[in-house]
């Protein structure tokens, strides 16, 4: 866990202090692909997502995630699989805050459904369901198309955060 904190701090520092000539906010009519890993109390999610610019400062997107989670319940070990499908909307603050083009700072909401798959003999309280969450994040683009992404959220099944890469089309 300590190594993960150091990695997150290093990437956050990189996002805040680096200067480059890459492109920040996505912009209207453009799209990007995101992939990476997340932080969660229920295993390590692996995700892939797609964002589309509907306005110079607004994107809409979709995301798919998968994680496997081992649980010890009343002396028995159980393996759960969790699949998440969500949609998101983000506002990108680059233009109004005059943020350098190598960066992309955003905040928004996501709505999604998580499907828990547990062994039939498991009597715990993990259930599938709909979740609404807010997120805040940033990207650092080290070229016109490739960037690093760090995002935090909380308050539902989507809590935690994620770190990954972004490719702009």
- For the chain, give every domain's residue range: 2-168
Stated as kind and residue range, the H or E segment containing 104 is strand 103-117
Tens-digit pLDDT profile for residues 94-122? 999 999 989 999 999 999 998 888 877 77
State how far the Cα of 150 lies from the Cα of 15, in Å rounded to an integer.
9
Strand partners, 148: 140, 165
Say what the pLDDT of residue 46 is: 93
Task: Let me know if domain 2-168 sits in CATH 3.40.50.720.
Answer: no
Look at 89 and 11; give whichever has higher pLDDT: 89
Q: By the 8 A CB rule, do 93 and 106 touch?
A: yes
The model carries a pTM of 0.78
Stated as kind and residue range, the H or E segment containing 82 is strand 76-92
Tens-digit pLDDT profile for residues 29-46? 999 999 999 888 777 889
Q: By the 8 A CB rule, do 147 and 166 touch?
A: yes
């Amino acid at each position: 866990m300590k190594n993960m904190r150091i990695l997150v701090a290093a990437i956050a520092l990189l996002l805040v202090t680096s200067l480059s000539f890459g492109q920040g906010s996505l912009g209207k009519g453009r799209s990007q692909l995101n992939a990476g890993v997340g932080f969660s109390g229920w295993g390590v999610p692996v995700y892939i997502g797609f964002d589309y610019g509907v306005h110079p400062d607004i994107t809409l997107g979709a995301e798919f995630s998968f994680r496997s989670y081992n649980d010890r319940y009343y002396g028995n070990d159980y393996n759960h699989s969790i699949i998440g499908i969500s949609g998101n909307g983000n506002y990108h603050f680059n233009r109004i805050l005059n943020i350098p083009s190598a960066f992309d700072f955003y905040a928004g909401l996501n709505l999604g459904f998580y499907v828990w798959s547990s062994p039939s003999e498991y009597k715990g309280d993990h259930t599938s369901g709909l979740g609404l969450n807010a997120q805040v994040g940033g990207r650092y683009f080290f070229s016109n198309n490739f960037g690093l992404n760090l995002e935090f959220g909380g308050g539902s099944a989507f809590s935690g955060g994620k770190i990954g890469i972004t490719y702009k089309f």
